[in-house]
Structure 1
Amino acid sequence: MASTGNHQEGITDALALLRAEHEHVRQLFARCAGLHGLEDAEEMMAELVDELCDALVTHTMLEEELFYPALRAASGDDELYDDAELEHAGARELISQLEVMYPGDEHFDATLAVLAEEIAHHIALEESEIFEQARAANVDLVELGHRLALRRAQLDDDLAAPPLAIDGAEPHEGRRTPPRAPD
C-alpha cells in the first residue's frame, strides 16, 4: 500500500483491489499486536503505525473519491454509503490522534486498539454488504478497478514526495516530533 510502494499489479477488478488492501491493513494491525511486550519495540511500532495510518488514509480516499460514488449512483442506496463515510470519519479522527502520539504514551495502545476494532467492523461491512451490492449493481468493476489503481499510484507518488519547507523552515527528519521533556 502507500508506504510500501507496492501497487496491486494484476488486480482484475475493484473488489479484488480493495480486498487486497483490506488484507494488507489486517496484516499491519497483526504486526503491531505482535510487537506488544517486546523490548525496544517502540521505534518499530511507530514506523508500523505510520505505515498503517498512511495506508488507511489512502484507502479511504480511494473509496470516497471513486468507489462509493460509483456504487451510490448505481444503487441509489445513500444510507449505506453515508454510514460507511461516517465510519471513515471516525477512523480519520483516531488516525489524527495516533499521528501525534508515541508508542508508550498514555492512550496510544487504547487508541490503536479502538482503531483496529473500528476498521475490522468496517471491513466486514464492506466485504459483505457493500461488495455484495457492487456485484449486483450495473457497474463495470474492471474499469473501476483500473481507475482505483491509477488513483492509488497518484496518491502513492504524492506520499513518497519529500515534504516541502514552509516559510524557509526545513522539515524535520521523521514524521513525529521529538518527545517533550517531562514536566
Structure 2
Amino acid sequence: MTTATKTNAKPARKSPAKSATKAAGPDAVSLLMDDHKKLKKLFKEYEKLAKKDDIEGKVDVAMQICEELTVHATIEEEIFYPAARAAIKDDDLLNEAEVEHATAKDLIAQIEQMSGDDPMYDAKVKVLSEYIDHHVKEEEDEMFPKAKKAKMDMAGLAVEMMERKEELMMAMA
C-alpha cells in the first residue's frame, strides 16, 4: 500500500503543475506552431485549387496565406524574436530568421500584386510554400527548443502576441 501511495503521489504532484500551465493559456511557442499548422493547411488547400484551375478560389486562399504570414511574421519580429534574442543569445539563428522573413515578405508583396491567371502566380505561391516550410522547420527544430530551454516567459509572451495579432487582424479587415 505504501508503494502505491508513493507511486500515485508523484503524478499527482506533476499533474496540477501541468494543469495550472494549461489553465493559464497557451504559451508563445504553441501559438506560433498553431499558425504554422494553419499555414500548412492553407498551402495544401491552395495546391488543390490550383490543380483544379480554380482561379478565384486559389486567389482567395493565396490572400489568406499572405495575410496570415504577414501577421505571423509581425508578431514574431515585434515580440518573440526580441525576447528570444535576449534569452538564447544566438544572433546567427535569429538573423537568419529575419532575413527569411524579408524574403517571404517580398514574395508576398509580389503575389498580392499579381493576377491569379498570371503564368507565374502558382510558381510564386509554390516557392513561398517551400520557403515557409524551410523556415518553419528551422524554428521548430532549432529556435523553439532553445527558447524553451532558456526559460523565456512563454505565457507572458503569448498574451502579448495574441493581443498584437488581434490588432493586426482587425487593421487588415
TM-score, normalised with respect to structure 1: 0.79
- The total of aligned residue pairs comes to 150
Aligned residues: percent identity?
37
Classify the secondary structure of the residue corresponding to 1:36.
helix
Q: 2:59 aligns with which of 46, 49, 60?
A: 46
In the superposition, relative to structure 1, how do residues 11 and 32 fare at CA in structure 2: closer, same or farther (>3 Å)?
A: farther
Q: Which has the larger radius of gyration?
A: 2
Kindly indicate whether residue 140 of structure 2 is the aligned counterpart of residue 140 of structure 1. Answer: no
CA distance in 2 between counterparts of 1:109 and 1:50 reads: 13
Q: Structure 1 segments of 4 or more deviating over 4 A? A: none
- 1:79-158 pair list within 5 angstroms: 79-158=92-171
Question: What is the root-mean-square deviation in Å for CA atoms of aligned residues?
Answer: 1.2
In the superposition, relative to structure 1, how do residues 37 and 75 fare at CA in structure 2: closer, same or farther (>3 Å)?
A: closer
In the superposition, relative to structure 1, how do residues 48 and 11 fare at CA in structure 2: closer, same or farther (>3 Å)?
A: farther
1:67-87 deviations in Å (ceiling 9; x for gaps): 000010112211110000000
* Structure 2 residue ranges without an equivalent (≥5): 1-23
2:71 matched residue in structure 1? 58
Amino acid at match of 2:48: G
Contact 1:22 1:123 in 2 (8 A): yes
* Structure 1 residue ranges without an equivalent (≥5): 1-9, 161-183
Q: CA offset at residue 115 of structure 1?
A: 0.4
1:181 matched residue in structure 2? none
Contact 1:91 1:119 in 2 (8 A): yes
